[in-house]
Structure 1
Amino acid sequence: MKIIVMRHGEAAHEAGRDDLRPLTDKGRKQSIRMAEWVAEQLPRIDRVLVSPFLRAQQTWEAIQACLPAPAQIEDVHDLVPYGRSEVVTDYLRALDDEYVLIISHLPLVGYIVNDLCANAVPPMFVTSGMAGVTLVDGKGRLDWLEGPHTVR
């Protein structure tokens, strides 16, 4: 399985609640840039798992036109900033999908990579940053970690 773990794009700080923080224009543009870059590596997407928080939902809305149409899209309540990574990684290990995209938050995105890849230190993700993980027989390998400032 190929898993793309993405942190949402840059979000505004002014909101009544954390889950209602919207993407900024910069966050939208950087997320699209990353989606255009990663699309070259994805012949298809079997499943998209998205946090229910507004900024993650808006990240998905911004990038979906750049990517292959997914077979399934799921709002996953465990993908919130302080969700339990083991719940997410157990779910991933149970899937039969070949290509999965996850859109979530710090610190969870780093913990997901760490839980999947035993030898990986939880990476720091910039906004709109992505990590590519290959999962074989339940064991993950971190293939790459990129952000809008590192892709061409």
Structure 2
Amino acid sequence: MKIYIMRHGQAGMNAKSDEQRPLTEQGIHESVMMARWLSPQLETLDRVIHSPYLRARQTWQAICKELPVPTHVEESPEITPYGDPDSVAAYLEALASQGENLLVVSHLPLVGYLVHQLCPGHDAPLFATSGLACIDYQDGKGQLSWLEGPHTIR
């Protein structure tokens, strides 16, 4: 199964709180560009889990039209910037072991820590805004297949 981990698109700084920071036009554009690049690689998308922060929710809203329709979409307060990577990774592993292809839309530093948790021996990578990682999850462990951003895709 595949676990796709995406960092939200570029967000503005002009908000009352970190949770309320909206995407910029560039953030919307780059997120859609990444979804269009990813879409031909997806046969199915069983579950999407996104952060309740505005910029992550807006990222999902911007890209959902470009991707296969998921069976489940959930908003999780566990995948905010400083969510617990151990518990989130355990949840993702449980879903992947049931045969689900997953997309997570979250934040730095959590996205990097999730790659580290799910892929033994792999350091936590940095993600560009709108960046996407693909983890091939088989037999109880993950392997990072690729990590791309808006400036690295062709």
Where on the TM-score scale, by shorter chain, does this alignment land: which range? over 0.9
Where in structure 2 are the equivalents of 1:34-113 lying within 5 Å? Answer: 34-95=34-95, 96-113=98-115
State the alpha-carbon separation in 2 of the partners of residues 67 and 92 from structure 1: 20
Deviation, 1:74, is: 0.6
Where in structure 2 are the equivalents of 1:136-151 lying within 5 Å? Answer: 136-151=138-153
Deviation, 1:94, is: 1.3
Q: Which runs of 4+ in 1 moved over 3 A?
A: none
TM-score by length of 1: 0.98
Q: CA RMSD in A?
A: 0.7
State the alpha-carbon separation in 2 of the partners of residues 125 and 63 from structure 1: 18
State the alpha-carbon separation in 1 of the partners of residues 87 and 26 from structure 2: 31
Deviation, 1:122, is: 0.3
Deviation, 1:93, is: 1.4
Deviation, 1:138, is: 1.8
**Structure 2: any 5+ residue segments left out of the alignment?**
none
Q: For residue 41 of structure 2, give the secondary structure of its aligned residue in structure 1.
A: coil
Deviation, 1:92, is: 1.1
TM-score by length of 2: 0.97
Residue in 1 aligned with 2:2? 2
